[in-house]
């Protein structure tokens, strides 16, 4: 009789033929072996389905589901399809262009089993370029002023971070399935092309987290990622989520945030989001659309983020003359997002 897995790994993937083998290999190399991997192929048009099928043929723990493309704005449907199939007591997230360190599951399962009241375990991860030849940074920062909230103890205290940003690398998340089902599965609201932060909002008021201060995976960051198309949409969605939470939890004792502070913060974030959106579009040679985003960064949101407004003005000039903004970034010693 086949042994029931303790961990169900949910792997949504779309056109990840360059990265999927690396992703699956990192699971096969896990020192912990009681897992199943549910690969949900969202109608890829490249060799993603073929690569996934080849791995399924060699390891019965790997299960592949091919569906018609429904896209990232219905991503919660794809994730929750995986949850419905999951046999494990824990749900892990690993999208098709990311990968894990070999000890990731072993360390996290051990910590979760020592603390049955915790609803989630997470860790540090490296942000890398497409071929992993360059490490941009490692997150989260262990010395951050708000690092004391990483374990969400008392329950709900990590919202002091989430209202501003998501400190948790999605590929490091291990969730108790029972807790996930109690909140109704993975969440997706306000037209956001992601499920991690809306789901974490719900889990933050459901129980404590376990944070492991070890780097247990890599996530790729490159300009042609689908989410790089929507930085302004995402920032606006995060703002709406923050306001909704504050309005629905007005007496939360562990919060040190008010609505006016959130308003000021997200005005600046919108400037940055439109400036970054313009940069990603320049990389993709979408010059006219890049100029529109740069104009929004320059002209909107009052005097928020003047340095980023200046950057946007430079980007606008580059978009007008079809110049190489990444070349300038390299000269200035800044991070380049050109895919390698």
Q: List pLDDT tens digits, range 71-119.
A: 999 999 999 999 999 999 999 999 999 999 999 999 999 999 999 999 9
Q: Specify if 200 maps to a domain.
A: yes
Length of the chain in terms of residues written: 340
For the cut 50, the answer to whether the pLDDT of residue 288 exceeds it is yes
Q: What is the CATH number of the domain that holds 124?
A: 3.90.550.10
What predicted TM-score, i.e. pTM, was given to this entire model?
A: 0.89
End-of-domain residue from the set 178, 196, 220: 220
φ and ψ of 99, to 5 deg: -155, 160
Q: Specify if 336 maps to a domain.
A: no
Per the prediction, the chain carries an average pLDDT of 93
Are residues 208 and 230 both part of a single domain? no
Q: Are 38 and 66 in contact (CB under 8 A)?
A: no
DSSP, collapsed to helix, strand or coil, labels residue 215 as strand
Residue 81: both structure tokens together: 């399809």
Q: Specify if 119 maps to a domain.
A: yes
End-of-domain residue from the set 165, 198, 220: 220
Are residues 216 and 230 both part of a single domain? no
φ and ψ of 36, to 5 deg: -130, 150
Give the distance between the most distant pair of CA atoms in the chain.
66
Are residues 199 and 237 both part of a single domain? no
Are residues 158 and 188 both part of a single domain? yes
End-of-domain residue from the set 187, 220, 253: 220
Are residues 199 and 105 both part of a single domain? yes
Q: Specify if 29 maps to a domain.
A: yes
Tell me how many domains the chain contains: 2
226 pLDDT band (50/70/90 cuts)?
Answer: low
Q: Specify if 1 maps to a domain.
A: no
CA 192/CA 74 separation, integer angstroms: 9
Are residues 152 and 77 both part of a single domain? yes
222 pLDDT band (50/70/90 cuts)?
Answer: confident
Are residues 163 and 179 both part of a single domain? yes
Are residues 174 and 264 both part of a single domain? no
Are residues 149 and 193 both part of a single domain? yes
Average pLDDT over residues 182-188: 97
């Amino acid at each position: 009789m086949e042994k029931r897995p303790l961990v169900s790994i949910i792997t949504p993937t779309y056109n990840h033929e360059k990265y999927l083998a690396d992703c699956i290999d990192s699971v096969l190399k896990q020192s912990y072996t009681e897992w199943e991997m549910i690969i949900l192929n969202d109608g890829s048009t490249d060799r993603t389905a073929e690569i996934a099928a080849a791995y399924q043929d060699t390891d019965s723990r790997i299960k592949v589901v091919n569906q018609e493309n429904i896209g990232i704005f219905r991503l919660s449907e794809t994730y929750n399809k995986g949850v419905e199939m999951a046999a494990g007591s824990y749900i892990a997230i690993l999208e098709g262009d990311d990968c894990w360190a070999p000890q990731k599951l072993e360390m996290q399962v051990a910590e979760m089993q020592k603390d049955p009241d915790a609803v989630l375990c997470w860790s540090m991860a490296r942000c890398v370029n497409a071929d992993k030849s360059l490490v941009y940074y490692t997150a989260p920062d262990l010395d951050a002023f708000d690092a004391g909230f990483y374990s969400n103890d008392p329950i709900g205290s990590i919202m002091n971070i989430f209202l501003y940003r998501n400190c948790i690398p999605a590929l490091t998340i291990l969730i108790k399935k029972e807790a996930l089902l109690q909140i109704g599965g993975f969440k997706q609201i306000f037209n956001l092309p992601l499920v991690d932060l809306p789901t974490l909002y719900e889990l933050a008021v459901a129980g404590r987290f376990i944070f492991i201060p070890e780097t247990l995976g890599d996530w790729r960051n490159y300009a042609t990622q689908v989410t790089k198309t929507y930085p302004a949409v995402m920032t606006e969605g995060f703002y709406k989520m923050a306001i909704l939470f504050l309005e629905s939890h007005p007496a939360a004792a562990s919060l040190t945030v008010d609505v006016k502070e959130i308003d000021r913060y997200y005005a600046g974030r919108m400037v940055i989001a439109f400036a970054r959106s313009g940069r990603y579009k320049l990389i993709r040679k979408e010059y006219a659309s890049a100029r529109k985003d740069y104009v929004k960064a320059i002209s909107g949101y009052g005097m928020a983020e003047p340095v980023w407004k200046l950057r946007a003005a430079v980007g606008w000039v580059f978009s007008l003359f079809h110049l190489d903004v990444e070349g300038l970034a390299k000269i200035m010693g800044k991070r380049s997002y050109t895919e390698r």
